[in-house]
Structure 1
Amino acid sequence: MGERAMDLICALLKSLSSSAIVTLDQLKNGFYRVFEEMPEISIDVPHAYTMLEKFALKCEKEGFIPNDVLKNLPSRGRKRFVSEGDGGRVKDDVY
């Protein structure tokens, strides 16, 4: 998602919110649904977490998303390349 697309979507959501077409609860629920689906979304869109964070911060800055939504913003978990407890060694696939 480019910067212009982000600005336009943010402006649309702000307009819908200010005209009471979409309530604050509906906006929050929409964000929370996206938050729940982020692991699946990030499979197809590798930078999805970064883009979501940038978009949510922009929406909060515009004043129509409360700070409590940002507190629930998911972050990408750390990648594990070796199993825990193996001393940092890479496991061989020798049978």
Structure 2
Amino acid sequence: HFHHEFVYEAIVMVLESKGEKTLKMVLQLLRSLSASSVITVDQIRRGYERVYMDIAEINIDVPRAYFILEQYVDKSFSMGIIDVKLRDLCPCRGRKRFVSEGDGGVVKLESY
């Protein structure tokens, strides 16, 4: 059964798409397939992990891939599609934050 491949391709489609419509539709699709047990938790996990492994390569063709993936993963978690463990595995590209991002200008030490 290759449902993890479907999950992988669906997420890549979100990363390559423009706008929020595809993101929302794929989230709804995966949530309903998961809720009806058409796709198992393990297949979802494997699909997400494959995207996590390939994100650096995807980012070559889709410059905002890391940013979009982070948004997608956060929404997946809030909708109950993935658990906190899978959410926390999401690779994020270290980037400079701006004061306007809501931390009140507080300087935070980087932790590695």
Instruction: After TM superposition, list the pairs within 5 Å mapping 1:40-79 onto structure 2.
Output: 40-77=57-94
Q: CA RMSD in A?
A: 1.1
Q: TM-score, normalised by structure 2?
A: 0.66
Q: Secondary structure at the match of 1:63?
A: coil
Task: Report how many residues are paired.
Answer: 78
Question: Are 1:31 and 2:48 an aligned pair?
Answer: yes
Where do 5+ consecutive residues of structure 1 fail to align? 79-95
Q: Which has the larger radius of gyration?
A: 1
| Deviation readout 1:32-79 (Å, 9 max, x if unpaired) | 00000011000000000000000011111111210101111101257x
Where do 5+ consecutive residues of structure 2 fail to align? 1-16, 96-112
Matches of 2:61 and 2:49, distance apart in 1: 19
1:5 Cα offset (Å) = 1.0
Q: TM-score, normalised by structure 1?
A: 0.78
Matches of 1:45 and 1:5, distance apart in 2: 15
- Between the two proteins, what is the percent identity of the paired residues? 40
